[in-house]
Amino acid sequence: MPTAKSSPLYQKMDKTGDLVYTAHKSSLKRPFLSFANKNRFYLYTINNQESKWIRIVFEYNGIDRKLFDKVSIKNGKSQKLEWNFSNNDLNTDNRHGGIVHEKKDLLITQEQFEKLRQLLTPRTIIEYSFTSDYEDEYSITKENLKAALKLVEYYESIPLAVLR
């Protein structure tokens, strides 16, 4: 359910009606066979009557299995936010035709959120990277940055307790 017809945000309630998930419409899942926008970065929020959470998602689609053990996001000012993993934490899937899908859906703590807010500055080149045996960097498009900033703004407007 869209928050309002003109709003770029989309909300969905869980089956029990306790949790509300909010994402930017541009982050909604692409068709299964779409190869456009192979690697994605997006944010979404979850809230209930008492608390709110913000999550960050990194997706890799390609023909090479990365088995990435680190994801980082940085801006041109060399500010950086990193998440490290063991390869046992992987959410991977080999799709039909040899396409590999790897995804990290991460809860952002309040401290990480403050750093992320500093990283996501308009008119700045922002990149995220997947690191395994080698590192692949991808730029965040202006549209994705605008969507992320809109979601950050929405998250800050929710008057609930935050995860520490």
pLDDT digits (tens, 9 = 90+) for 99-147: 677 788 999 999 999 999 989 988 888 888 888 777 778 888 888 899 9
In this predicted model, what pLDDT tens digit does every residue of 72-94 receive, in sequence order? 899 876 778 999 877 654 555 55
Give the pLDDT score at 37: 45
DSSP calls for 8-21:
SEEEEE-TTS--EE
Q: What is the pLDDT of residue 36?
A: 42
Give 163's contacts (C-beta < 8 A, 6+ positions apart): 51, 52, 53, 107, 109, 110
H or E element at residue 114? helix 110-119
